[in-house]
Amino acid sequence: MTPQATTSLPETFDVEVDADTIEATEQTLLGGSPFRVLRLSSPGAIAWRQIRDGDRPLTLPARVLAQTLISNGMAHPVPGEVDVRRDVTVVVPVLDRTAELDRCLRALDSTYPTIVVDDGSVNPGAIADICATHNVQLIRRKQNGGPAAARNCALAHVDSEFIAFIDSDCVATSGWIDALCAHFDDPSVAAVAPRVIAEHGGSGVLDLGDRPGRVAALTRIGHVPTAALLVRRRCLDAVSVDGAAFDPELRVGEDVDLVWRLADAGWSVRYDPTVLVNHDEPHEIASVMARRFQYGTSAAPLSKRHPGKVLHFLGLPWPTATCLFAWAVAPRLFVAALLATIARTHSSLAPTAAARSLRTRFALRSIWQTWLGLSRYVTQFFAPFAIVMMLVSSRRAMTVALVATAPLAHDRNQPLHHLAGDVAYGSGVWKSALDHRDLTPVIPRRWKPPPPSSAASERNPFAKPKGRP
pLDDT tens sequence across 57-75: 999 999 999 999 999 999 9
**Would you say residue 304 lies in a domain?**
no
Same domain (yes/no): 149, 182: yes
Same domain (yes/no): 150, 71: no
Provide mean pLDDT across the span 8-23: 93
Range of the domain at 345: 314-410
**Would you say residue 300 lies in a domain?**
no
pLDDT value of residue 464: 47
Same domain (yes/no): 54, 98: no
pLDDT value of residue 468: 31
Q: In what order do the strands lie in the sheet with 453-454?
A: 22-25, 28-31, 36-39, 453-454
**Would you say residue 352 lies in a domain?**
yes
Residue of higher predicted confidence among 317 and 358: 317
Same domain (yes/no): 96, 237: yes
Say whether pLDDT at 2 is over 70: no
**Would you say residue 126 lies in a domain?**
yes
Which segments of 393-449 does DSSP mark as H helices, in order? 394-410, 415-435
**Would you say residue 436 lies in a domain?**
no
Q: Please, how many CA atoms are within 13 Å of residue 6, restricted to the half-sphere of its CB? A: 26
Same domain (yes/no): 60, 105: no
Same domain (yes/no): 195, 149: yes
C-alpha–C-alpha distance, residues 194 and 229, integer Å: 7
Same domain (yes/no): 156, 243: yes
Q: Is 467 helix (H, G, I), strand (E, B) or coil?
A: coil
Q: Is 124 helix (H, G, I), strand (E, B) or coil?
A: helix
**Would you say residue 353 lies in a domain?**
yes
Same domain (yes/no): 132, 49: no
C-alpha–C-alpha distance, residues 111 and 115, integer Å: 12
Same domain (yes/no): 206, 327: no
Same domain (yes/no): 239, 267: yes
Residue of higher predicted confidence among 406 and 205: 205
Say whether pLDDT at 352 is over 60: no
Say whether pLDDT at 339 is over 90: yes
Q: Of 238, 235, 242, 147, whose CA–CA distance to 184 is shortest?
A: 235
C-alpha–C-alpha distance, residues 456 and 429, integer Å: 41
Same domain (yes/no): 266, 345: no
Query: How many domains does one find in the chain?
Result: 3
- Phi and psi dihedrals of 426, rounded to 5? -60, -35
**pLDDT tens digits for range 370-408:** 988 888 898 889 877 766 666 666 666 666 666 666 666
Say whether pLDDT at 15 is over 80: yes
pLDDT value of residue 438: 93
Confidence category of residue 232, pLDDT binned at 50, 70, 90: very high
Say whether pLDDT at 320 is over 80: yes
Same domain (yes/no): 196, 248: yes
**Would you say residue 417 lies in a domain?**
no
**Would you say residue 334 lies in a domain?**
yes
**Average pLDDT over the chain, rounded to whole?**
87
Final residue belonging to a domain, choices 260, 283, 306: 283
Q: Of 68, 108, 75, 80, whose CA–CA distance to 92 is shortest?
A: 108
Say whether pLDDT at 457 is over 60: no
